[in-house]
A and B are shown apart, each in its own frame.
Chain A
Amino acid sequence: MKKDYSILKKSDVPAFFASLANEMQLIGPKQLFSGDVTFDVIQSHKDIYWDYGHVVYPPKRFLLPHFEDMFRYTCDQEIKIEPTCNPQPQAIVGIRSCDVAAIRFQENFFSYPIVDPYYKEHLNNTVLFNLVCNTPPKKECFCICCDSGPWLESGFDVQLTDLGDRFLYEVGSDKGEKATEPRAYMLLPATPADIEARRQIELQADSRFQTVSYVAKAINFISADEVPAKIWEDLGSTCFRCGACTNLCPVCTCFTVDDREESDGTFTRCRSWDSCQYAGFTREASGHNPRPTFGSRVARRFYHKTSYQYIIRDGRHGCVGCGRCITACLTKLGLPDVVKRIRREMHEFLPPKEKAAEV
């Protein structure tokens, strides 16, 4: 597959996505009656709300649904099991770079070393139309610190950069090429000036971020388990255990499995999102809980997000800098605040000699 830049004029956008909608379901940013923007099924290409900035609710639910039926069974006369996974082709349009990076993280997690058939099916049927952030980022965004934005070098199927009256159209995968082909006649070749315009956007991006998170030092402390339990307990004491951070995190994947009885007497095995911030997450049937304190659960979350061990395992650290944990948390337990606190407090905890060496 050759990497190529083209131009999609904004006047052709409606026809382009209307034609795409004939082949697959469109998911995109949609403005609700309340004025909020969220990712939802797009009925008409006019509903795609291109200037949305950043949504609080990540589009991960289109690949890993809140509740997903795994199979249905009957158990009155004889046991009959019918798998229910049947995903439809879909295109997620206008997804941001951080969310694409998160989906690639999840893809890696769900396919190695054992392949999860449901996630694989969903992803195989999904084309990602990434939209580069060239508007000023929200004040919580810090993707620039996490190597996941504001634009991507790879990982997208198609990447769009807004250049005013036109989009710079970049194909990044075979799946993207396949989705482009039937509509390729609407694309124009990009001029060097277009590519230069995009380069300028990239150059300006760095200075626009208000939140930065220097994770490197925190990674050291957390990976070596050097953060004193007291810091975690302090952080945990403010946690409301609402689970919003893990639910809104586009990287988090944990789920639980339940059997549900249907009104017709059949049963459905269903998996649903779960959160390591809940006490019941690790509590065993005997009542023993290996992570009994709030602090130990907060420590767990940030260990998963930033430890070296996970970087080696999953290829990158588990944060894409979307800033949703900052927006969601009632008590400022977002990643940048925790990292800042660990860096500061660890400095205070160090004995004076080491502190001197540190400087």
Chain B
Amino acid sequence: MVLTPARPRRMWGVTDQPSANLYVPMIAIVQEIIDETPDTKTFRLAFEDKEYAKSFEWEPGQFVEVTVFGAGEAPIGFASDPNERSFFEITVVERGKVTRAMHALKKGDKVGIRGPFGNCWPLEDMKGKNVLIVSGGCGLAPLRPAILQILANRKEYGNFLLLYGARTPADRNYKYDLDAWAKRDDMQVLETVDVGDESWKGNVGVVTTLFDKVKVDGENTVALTCGPPIMIKFVTLELLKMGFSADRIVTSQERYMKCGVGKCGHCCINHVYLCTEGPVFTYAQMKELFELKL
């Protein structure tokens, strides 16, 4: 089996350009704000233009450029169920100027949205295989649509295992989801934290320490990973040891981005513009790019 994260059906500037100018955003309204961790919030957004909202489609793994008016623009991955068409969610960690301004938004405020951009997780190609998801911190956000999509079509996939690591118990994203998923009998969820506290009864250590606790058939499983670069490196090395072939380790890469359409040059890795040809790559593809060498 050869997995290739495919070009999605719709991508702003290629197939789905609502205005004459692909740099001009569409207006969306903040419907709800969910506090995830002390520095992370999830925003539920819906387009002001109802006609456009109806035609707005995206796939797990893609991202949007979010404008906070008066502050600037930042690329953020989709974090909600792709089948839910009346709204979409993005999860934002407070880090820079734009994300700080985003955290100051209130319900009813308006933001600008350009997108969807990028390619998607190869969920179609993965059908019939076991799925292993390894995620760290807010790296769970771009994987959440994939998890929800797999759960919606649960019969088409084999064993489903999620390994999730956070810095502290308070830093767990989507606590409500993790708790609900852990109760399901058609998927297995294992969690760890780097630093525990009195309330934490689970594993303590980096996410790779969870690998000893599970049995994974390296031959017949596809691994999706997303998290800090250092985590991706060690997870990939562990997966290779477990017998995963390079084309069955799939990662979402993160880079500084400005335009989203492969022009500004910031996200370029070797000759590949991550915003149009990524952000999802298999390890086999990453090996071709020297700058992603492990």
User: Are A and B co-members of a single complex?
Assistant: yes
B263 at the interface (CB under 8 A from A): yes
Q: Is the CB of B21 within 8 A of A85?
A: yes
B254 at the interface (CB under 8 A from A): yes
Chain B residues with a Cβ closer than 8 Å to the other chain, count: 42
Q: Is the CB of B263 within 8 A of A81?
A: no
Within 8 Å by CB of B258, from A255, A288, A307, A309, lies A255
Choose the segment among B186-194, B208-216, B265-273 that binds chain A (4+ C-beta atoms closer than 8 Å): B265-273
B70 at the interface (CB under 8 A from A): yes
State the total of A-B contacts with C-beta under 8 angstroms. Answer: 111
Choose the segment among B22-30, B80-88, B127-135, B152-160 that binds chain A (4+ C-beta atoms closer than 8 Å): B22-30
- Which A51-68 residues have a C-beta within 8 angstroms of B? none
Q: Is the CB of B265 within 8 A of A290?
A: no
Q: Is the CB of A110 within 8 A of B24?
A: no
Q: Is the CB of A114 within 8 A of B261?
A: yes
Q: Is the CB of A290 within 8 A of B24?
A: no
A174 to B104, CA, bound (A): 53
What 1/0 mask marks residues of chain B from 232 to 261 whose CB sits below 8 Å from any chain A CB?
Answer: 000000000000000000000011101101
- Which A264-323 residues have a C-beta within 8 angstroms of B? 267, 269, 271, 274, 276, 281-286, 288, 290-291, 296, 300, 303-304, 307, 309-310, 313
Output the least CB separation between B227 and chain A (Å): 11
- Which B1-49 residues have a C-beta within 8 angstroms of A? 13-14, 20-25, 27
A239 to B27, CA, bound (A): 44
Given contacts A79-B110, A114-B14, A259-B71, contact A225 B263 (CB under 8 A): no
Choose the segment among A26-34, A69-77, A199-207 that binds chain B (4+ C-beta atoms closer than 8 Å): A69-77
Minimum CB distance partner of A116 in chain B: B263
A47 to B93, CA, bound (A): 55
Minimum CB distance partner of B258 in chain A: A257
B264 at the interface (CB under 8 A from A): yes
Interface residues of A, dominant DSSP:
mixed
Within 8 Å by CB of A117, from B22, B254, B264, B276, lies B22
Which range holds the interface residue count of chain A?
35 or more
Q: Is the CB of A71 within 8 A of B110?
A: no
A290 to B85, CA, bound (A): 35
A113 at the interface (CB under 8 A from B): yes
Please name all residues of chain B whose beta carbon is closer than 8 Å to the beta carbon of A79 when the two chains form the complex. Answer: 27, 69, 110, 112
A180 at the interface (CB under 8 A from B): no
Please name all residues of chain B whose beta carbon is closer than 8 Å to the beta carbon of A257 when the two chains form the complex. Answer: 72-73, 258-259, 264
A324 to B290, CA, bound (A): 28
Within 8 Å by CB of B255, from A261, A271, A282, lies A282
The residue in A83, A283, A286 that gathers the most chain B C-beta atoms within 10 A of its C-beta is A286
A254 at the interface (CB under 8 A from B): yes
A259 to B71, CA, bound (A): 6
Given contacts A79-B110, A114-B263, A285-B99, contact A258 B72 (CB under 8 A): yes
A286 to B229, CA, bound (A): 11
B95 at the interface (CB under 8 A from A): yes
B291 at the interface (CB under 8 A from A): yes
A173 at the interface (CB under 8 A from B): no
Please name all residues of chain B whose beta carbon is closer than 8 Å to the beta carbon of A113 when the two chains form the complex. Answer: 14, 262, 276
What 1/0 mask marks residues of chain A from 84 to 125 whose CB sits below 8 Å from any chain B CB?
Answer: 010000000000000000000000011001111110000000
Please name all residues of chain A whose beta carbon is closer than 8 Å to the beta carbon of B27 when the two chains form the complex. Answer: 79
B126 at the interface (CB under 8 A from A): no
Q: Is the CB of A274 within 8 A of B20?
A: no
Q: Is the CB of B21 within 8 A of A71?
A: yes
Q: Is the CB of A83 within 8 A of B24?
A: yes
A258 to B84, CA, bound (A): 32
A311 to B70, CA, bound (A): 40
Minimum CB distance partner of B110 in chain A: A79
A135 at the interface (CB under 8 A from B): no
Q: Is the CB of B271 within 8 A of A307?
A: yes
Q: Is the CB of A303 within 8 A of B265?
A: no
A253 at the interface (CB under 8 A from B): yes
What 1/0 mask marks residues of chain B from 94 to 107 whose CB sits below 8 Å from any chain A CB?
Answer: 01100100000000
Q: Is the CB of A282 within 8 A of B256?
A: yes
Please name all residues of chain B whose beta carbon is closer than 8 Å to the beta carbon of A259 when the two chains form the complex. Answer: 67, 70-73
Please name all residues of chain B whose beta carbon is closer than 8 Å to the beta carbon of A290 when the two chains form the complex. Answer: 229, 255, 269, 291
Please name all residues of chain B whose beta carbon is closer than 8 Å to the beta carbon of A269 when the two chains form the complex. Answer: 23, 73
Output the least CB separation between A232 and chain B (Å): 11
Given contacts A79-B110, A286-B95, contact A254 B265 (CB under 8 A): yes
Please name all residues of chain A whose beta carbon is closer than 8 Å to the beta carbon of B21 when the two chains form the complex. Answer: 71, 83, 85, 117
Given contacts A73-B69, A290-B291, A309-B270, contact A255 B229 (CB under 8 A): no
Please name all residues of chain B whose beta carbon is closer than 8 Å to the beta carbon of A296 when the two chains form the complex. Answer: 291
B286 at the interface (CB under 8 A from A): no
The 8 closest A-B pairs by CB, nearest first: A254-B265, A75-B69, A285-B95, A309-B271, A225-B290, A114-B13, A285-B96, A259-B72
If A115-B13, A118-B23, A257-B264 are given as contacts, then 9 extra A-B residue pairs at C-beta distance below 8 Å, sorted by A number, are A75-B70, A113-B276, A114-B263, A116-B261, A253-B263, A257-B259, A274-B264, A284-B256, A313-B271
Provide 29 A-B residue pairs closer than 8 Å at the C-beta atoms, listed in order of the A residue: A70-B24, A79-B69, A79-B110, A79-B112, A81-B25, A83-B20, A113-B14, A114-B263, A117-B21, A118-B23, A225-B290, A254-B264, A255-B259, A255-B263, A255-B265, A257-B258, A259-B73, A261-B70, A271-B264, A274-B266, A282-B256, A285-B95, A285-B99, A285-B256, A286-B95, A290-B229, A291-B291, A300-B291, A304-B271
Chain B contact residues, CB within 8 Å of chain A? 13-14, 20-25, 27, 67, 69-74, 93, 95-96, 99, 110, 112, 228-229, 254-256, 258-259, 261-266, 268-271, 276, 290-291
